Amino acid sequence: MIKSSSLAAAVSAVLATASFASLAQAQSTAANAAASGDSAPLATVVVTGSNIRRTEAEGPSPVQVIGREELEKSSKMTVADVLRSISANTGNATNETSNSGWAAGSAGIGLRGLSQKNTLVLLNGRRLANYGFPSGGLSDTFVNLNALPMVAVERIEVLKDGASAVYGSDAVAGVVNIITRPNFEGLELGGSAGVSDEGGLETQRGRVVAGFGDLHSDGWNVLASFEAYKRDRLDQDERALTRSGIYSDQPGGTWNGWSPKGARFLINGASVPMLDDNGNCPAGMVLTASAPIDGRAGDTCAINLVPFTTLIPSTERYQGYLNGTVRLGENLEGFGEVIYSRIRGSAIFGSSPYFTLESGRFALNADTGLAEGVPAILPAGNPYNPYGRDVSLEYTFFDLGQTVKTNRSEAYRVLGGLRGQLSDWDWEVSAFSARSKETEIVEGGFANRWTLFDALADGTYDLHNPSATPQSVIDSIALRTLRPADSRLHGADAKISGELFDLPAGSVGFAAGVEWRKESLVSRNPWQIDAGLQIRPAIAAVDGERDVWATYAEVNVPLVEGLELQLAGRGDHYSDFGDAFSPKASLRWQPLDSLLFRAAVSRGFRAPSLSENSASTNISYGSVLDPYDPDLPNSRQSPTNFTVGNPSLEPERIRSYNAGIVFSPSRETSVSVDWYQIKLDNLIGTNNTTAIVNRNDPADVIRDSRGKLLAIYNRFQNLTELETSGLDFELRQVWRTDVAGDFTLSGVLTHVLEYSRPQTVGGPMVDYAGNNRGPSLPKNKATTSLNWQYGDFNTGVTWFHTAGYDQLANTTAAAVQSRVDGYEQFDFNVAWSGFEGLTLYTKIENVFDEMPPYDASFPGVRAPYDFSQYDSRGRYYQVGAEYRF
């Protein structure tokens, strides 16, 4: 536990007392200024990363701003696609192509190569409920970017600096703040359609935005928007890259897209196909040699799984947003907003598109809660067993249906509050309630072990001709499961900001506030798992909640003309683990109008997620060498692997450093370079199962009365450390001409200098930058755009660059491939607005039809590229129209 609650309270109390004590002075100062007729001050803004208003756009921390104009020109159709394309998103985050885990169909963002639990996502400066299904084996909780509509967005601000001193937990790698349109009047209608050059993945989108009332003249404003988005599913057989499933002509490639376990016996380690009297495999299977697929001798009835493997899920999204502001007095406003999304996504479960009975399968014992082996044996009495004895069987049951996963998500946030001015001081109070409710429905591909055993024992399931099996038998075996999850967030906050007093170099700015929120996360197993029916159950149960109280303060001190010191501190109290204090110090020096230097140092934290420190359980299966086995020491055993929450976890501790320079010789030119370094200690993870078995602690290793290994308990622990650093380069240049229009060149590049962590607990630091020892982490990622505005035409091209990386995933892949190639994608857009209010546009994504680079480690599901970095949509066309009344 970080024992700093008293320090946090003291710092915040001192700063808060100073602010309230200065209110009377501020009232008097404002009155005197009004009486003397002083001119109004310059307009001020609040930039993500601080609560202090300022006149300068560039603050002491780097913030990338993606404006509405840039969003409209982009070929990216969703908030998730836009954010995942920025250079700071170097990897290690969930996207929709990852359809084998709990969070299939969702999308997150992980800045700086850190997982998405280390990036805080806000809407208009406030938190949203996390997605109900964590990813990464239950460790990563995150906001689902697919639940956020693009249509009402004014801009997206990406703070590329630690910000726990302002926002608290999760703001480790940075903050993404999605800001909606303010005081909008008018009506906008729009629609678009898209299709891939290679076919599939058709999309349709429609939207409407309406704004009524002017806050300044009418005293009120209401913004309402609605967006509908539909996209078809893309499977591997729809792309030339993956269609055959055979990669024997590539380094390290085999028949990776095929399964040898269609229908066969295993006799003395060799594969023997299960054939009918005419020498045929069951329908849908191909008689072929087993060796190209899995190296076994003999032939097999194999299956090409490519047609049953999803690359990008289908989705339907309906999203609405409502925002209202009303003036209640001269210095008082009421405000409120509602965001609502309803999403349905569908994909074939990546790792197991059909149910296959094979060795190593398990089911849960309903009485003990432990997994027990399910024998992959065809009984001697089965009419399709030619051996007259029990034999090992591997068989895929097509008739039980595809493992089609349908994820339904319903998310909302309702917020209301008041804000106003007390003399020169701005104040604001609000309360909100947010929720993300999920259900995962699997229509087929699961089997009831008891009825399956009965059908194999009496031969009522026709293994040679499954279509001849009575429907009643199939119905008794097939399972349809439903997995629910519910994530909730309730909160309230109050804050003030203004100026404390004047110094010779300027006014001392100040902001302070208090926050409260209640978080809860509940995820349940399908009842068929708990009842012990389902073979190969996927178990991920979470049940946790907590309260969080926080107080924070910031002060901005002008030391001399052009030099500012900004100090911030925040104290958080969590009802589960205790207290944390996060300080930050920043310097902003502008010796010339065209030159700015900035630097920041901060300390922060990431609170253990509710899936890490609550009553959570994740069950997986695998084998491990057991040196204490009573029958054969050092033999391989197959226990149940439990990963459970640990209520004793401490928060991860973070130290963050930034330094940069901005050169802006004119309004048309801006160049910046920023260096960052993030050091994380106390990282939460799980221990190595081999080490746990070798230690043989009875609290973690469960054995029967003879000493036979039954289960391994692996608890989340504070284990290790991580250090990453890099450089951000940003350029913007505008050329304005009288005869040829205006040209805008902009570019952002991130270069990762280091990304180091131990491979084993207590081991030496190993660099993961520029390789795929873990998730692939290219050293360089860049986005460059050139736009041309001429009369009614607007056109542009965007270049997305992702560098290659060294092949270090495993020794087998490294032996045949030294480096994975880089990736270059060019997008094109053109728009015409020749009629008043009407804009017609077309966009081409991936103009040169660049395919993902080949990775011999096959990190994708039966596909030779990294799903976290790339997708296979290929060249993609969009056409659309917008009308503004």
**In this structure, is the dihedral angle defined by the CA atoms of residues 783, 788, 794 and 795, taken in order, positive or negative?**
negative
Give the per-residue pLDDT at 423.
86
Integer Cα distance of 324 and 219 in angstroms: 11
Q: Which of 299, 304, 302 is nearest to 267 (CA)?
A: 299
> What pLDDT is attached to residue 599?
96
Closest by CA to 89, choosing from 659, 774, 782, is: 782
Distance CA 494, CA 489 (A): 17
Continuous segment of H or E residues that includes residue 693: helix 689-695
Element (H, E) at 433: strand 425-447
Separation of CA 671 from chain center:
30
Distance CA 585, CA 603 (A): 9
Contacts of 107 (CB under 8 A, 6+ apart): 80, 84, 93, 94, 95, 96, 144, 145, 146
Contact between residue 676 and residue 656 where contact means Cβ atoms under 8 Å apart: yes
Asked if residue 229 lies in contact with residue 78, where contact means CB atoms within 8 angstroms, the answer is yes
Among 504, 514, 565, 573, CA closest to 20: 514
Tens digits of per-residue pLDDT, 225-277? 999 999 999 999 999 999 999 999 999 888 989 999 999 999 998 999 999 99
Q: Long-range contacts for 801-805 (Cβ within 8 Å, ≥24 apart)?
A: 801/749, 802/778, 802/869, 802/870, 803/770, 803/778, 803/779, 804/778, 804/853, 805/770, 805/771, 805/772, 805/776, 805/777, 805/778, 805/779
User: Is the CB of residue 175 less than 8 Å from the CB of residue 120?
Assistant: yes
Q: What is the pLDDT of residue 56?
A: 67
Helices (H), ranges, 37-106: 68-73, 79-84
Write down the pLDDT at residue 2. 40
Indicate the pTM of the whole model.
Answer: 0.88
pLDDT averaged over consecutive 10-residue blocks of the chain (885 residues)?
39 38 37 38 68 78 90 86 88 67 75 90 95 82 90 92 90 93 93 93 95 93 96 92 91 90 94 96 96 92 92 93 95 96 89 85 83 88 94 94 91 97 93 96 92 95 95 95 95 96 94 96 92 85 94 96 95 94 95 95 94 84 82 80 88 95 94 96 86 90 86 86 96 95 96 91 89 91 96 95 94 92 96 94 96 89 85 93 94
Beta bridge partners of 173: none
* Dist. CA 237–CA 687, nearest whole Å: 39
Which residue shows structure tokens 């836009």? Answer: 82
Separation between Cα atoms, residue 23 and residue 500, nearest integer Å: 8
Does residue 602 contact residue 656 with C-beta atoms inside 8 Å? yes
Give 86's contacts (C-beta < 8 A, 6+ positions apart).
64, 66, 158, 748, 783
pLDDT value for 4: 41
Q: Is 317 helix (H, G, I), strand (E, B) or coil?
A: strand
Predicted pLDDT at 615: 81
Q: Contact, 757 vs 720, CB < 8 A?
A: yes
Q: Where are the beta strands (DSSP E) in 448-538?
A: 478-503, 506-523
Contact 831, 839 (CB under 8 A): yes
CA distance 608 to 718: 10
